[in-house]
Amino acid sequence: MEVDTQTGVVRVLKLVAAHDVGRAINPQSVEGQIQGGAVMGLGYALMEEVVVQDGINLTTSSASYLIPTDGDVPDVDPLVIESGEGLGPFGARGIGEPPIAPPAAIANAIEDATGARITQLPITPERVARALGMVADPR
């Protein structure tokens, strides 16, 4: 990943996602689930935010609720781990929760690169700049 310490912009260059699926009954489908979940997690980490002010949702359109587009998504390398220890059919496990991993990994990578710890999602350029001490905290 890259962190622009002048602007606070974070850019993920490559994403590797490894998931133990027990047994991959349909490996191509499992890889697609992992890739899709990784992209969802990337959006959750860096751009998706519902803004509520005084009980009113201010995020009312696709223009104000950002999701990753092709230009935002790096190469996603899915690693299918087969332990054979799933409780599902043929030893399979569910693969529906991969989006939870990227936010923590991205926050940790930013801290490793800059020393700044981001504790609120999404990790916007403004929040990175604030954590780097470039912008005063408005609170």
- In tens, the pLDDT along 33-88 reads 999 999 999 999 999 999 999 999 999 988 889 999 999 999 999 999 999 888 88
Query: Percentage of the chain surpassing pLDDT 70?
Result: 96
Domain architecture of the chain: domains with CATH:
2-131 (3.30.365.10)
Q: Cα(55)–Cα(66) distance, rounded to whole angstroms? A: 21
- In tens, the pLDDT along 125-136 reads 999 999 998 766
- The pLDDT, as a whole number, for residue 49 is 94
Tokens 């191509």 identify what position? 28
Query: Percentage of the chain surpassing pLDDT 90?
Result: 80
> If 0-12 CB within 10 Å is exposed, 13-18 middle and 19+ buried, where does residue 34 land?
buried
Output DSSP code: residue 116.
P
**Which parts of 10-88 are beta strand (E)?**
10-11, 14-20, 52-53, 56-57, 75-81
Quick check: is 31 catalytic?
Answer: no
Q: Which of 2, 48, 85, 97 is catalytic?
A: 97
The whole-model pTM stands at 0.84
